[in-house]
Amino acid sequence: MFTTTGSRGLYKAPLCKGLLLVLNGLTVMLTLLPQYQHLFIYSLQAVTQQHQVWRLLCGRLVCLDVKDAFCSSLLIYNFRIFERRFGTRKFASFLLGAWCVSALMDFLLAQAFQFLFDYEVEELPAGLLAPVFSLFVPFYRSIPTTPVTQVLGHIHITNKSLVYIVGLQLLTSSPFMWLLALSGLISGGLYYSNVLRLQKLLFVPVWVSCIGRYILEPIFSSSQPTNETPLGMGATLDIQRQQRMDMLDQQLLLAQYNEARRNIRPQRQAGLLQWTRLFPSLRHRGQNRPPVQPHPQAHTQPPLLDNSPVAEEQVAMLVEMGFSRIDALEALRASNNDINMATNFLLQH
């Protein structure tokens, strides 16, 4: 997993799992049966001059290049967090809207390129590429950036760096991939910001969502992952050690956060347990000191958190990401108004 944005695997992401299995399966089949690849070529000239409108569907779904299929699959797997957070229907509506708008943008950008440079773009890379690039818009705007480490003391590595590297690899895979990337970013920005009320015009109907829930979701659903999460691979021993410290820190904080929520629900007005004061962050401790495990107290009641002030703009940011206002307030108070820590707690809870 590239980012710390939720539990591992494809749990609660049946659409992403279906896209990965079906589209990659078709890519493998077309690689083994090259005589059928001409049916899936994304030819703008064939659409405009020969009126082969069906190429908009076939040419903009299945990748003919294995490298493009691999990079787009990595991005879809990483962007599954949006389906898990906002629901399958809303995620499918975003992909549908971005797919339709980007189809129009492909022709407009191709015509603009021909007008400026007197060069006609006849074919574009095939596959679900523009909608994948459109997902970078909510990824950039709604997922907070958390620093991980530094390279050479100046280059900052964050939880988003590998995702952008994979996107850059996909961008440089073919000469006109930049046109699809620009088309996807424009369409994703238009749909995400709801310009021209696109979210009211392009969406998945409820009846289609119900059919998919009862027919397709049992096929592509994944079992709930276990509580144990494997450690990520670090480039050096220092990075691996830091990852273990961060993971242990999150497990302690999440455990205390869950216990506090159970104690708070009968009397919510009493506040939330300030577990960040009880357990300081392990990443700020010495490298050679082992982490100290908390000792449970049998007959003492945990102290309660007073109603500490919370920045309203941070609450609004979490609410826009899909969390409830009550959970956002509790997470911000429990994390001492640390927006990154509060987001990670809510996403993993």
Answer whether 46's CB lies under 8 Å from 55's CB.
yes
Q: Residue 109's closest CA among 100, 98, 121?
A: 121
Q: Take residue 49 and report the two structure tokens written for it.
A: 């001059």
In angstroms, the CA 118 to CA 106 distance is 17
CA count, 13 A, side-chain hemisphere, 199: 12
Q: Say what the pLDDT of residue 261 is.
A: 64
Per run of 10 residues, the mean pLDDT along the chain (length 349 residues) is 52 91 95 94 93 92 94 94 90 95 96 93 94 96 84 82 94 94 96 92 92 88 63 48 63 66 52 45 44 46 51 81 82 81 75
Question: Which pLDDT score, from 0 to 100, does residue 43 have?
Answer: 94
Confidence at residue 277, expressed as pLDDT on a 0 to 100 scale: 46
CA 54 to chain centre: 30
Tell me what pLDDT residue 10 has: 85
Find all residues with CB under 8 Å of 279, minimum gap 6, and list them. 252, 253, 256, 294
What pLDDT score was predicted for residue 37? Answer: 93
